Amino acid sequence: MKVREVMSRPVVTVGPKDAVWYALQVMISTRIGAVVIAEGERPVGILTESDVVRLLVDRGMGIVELLSVPVENVMSKPVITCSPDEDLVDALTLMLEKRVRRLPVVENDRLVGILTERDLMGAMLPLLRSAKAGEARPDTRM
C-alpha cells in the first residue's frame, strides 16, 4: 500500500510570517492538531499543539508573546516529509524513528498531502477486522 492511497488532502497550511495566534485559530476551526507552514506550495515547517505547549512550559514563553510571534520563529524545522509513492510501511517506520505523528507528503518540492496517525489507523482497521474475522471462523479441518 502506498502513502497516496491513505494520505489526507487538501493540507491545511499557514505562512511563515503568520502569527501563532492565527495558526491556532486555523487549527481550532478545522479541528486538526497541526498546520504545515508553507512558502507557496513548499513546506518549510510544521506547528503542532505539542509545540505550543512545549513553548509555554519549556521555554517559559508568555502567552501574549507566543500568540504574537511569527510561526517561523517557533515551528518545527526542518520538516520531515515523505513521498506519495513511498510504501506505507516505510512511512510508518520513519514516523516511529523520528517520533512524529504527521508527515507532509511532497512530490517535486510541492506539498500534495499529509499522512497522519488517523490516516494510518484508517488504513489498518480493515486489515484488523479481516484478521479478527479470520480468527472467529471455526476450524473445519479434521
Q: Tell me the pLDDT tens digit for each residue of 28-81.
A: 999 999 999 999 999 999 999 988 888 888 777 777 887 889 999 999 999 999
What is the b/e burial string over 36-72, where b = at least 16 CB atoms within 10 angstroms of the residue's CB?
Answer: bbbeeeebbbbbbeebbeebeeeeebeeeebbeebbb
Beta pairing partners, 13: 36
The answer to whether 3 touches 84, Cβ cutoff 8 Å, is: yes
Amino acid at 50: S
Model pLDDT for residues 108-120, shown as the tens digit of each residue? 999 999 999 999 9
pTM: 0.84
Percent of the chain at pLDDT > 90 equals 71
Tell me the CATH number of domain 3-133, given options 3.10.580.10, 3.40.50.1000, 3.40.50.261, 3.40.50.80. Answer: 3.10.580.10
Residue 109: how many CA atoms within 13 Å on its side-chain side?
2
* 2, pLDDT greater than 90: yes
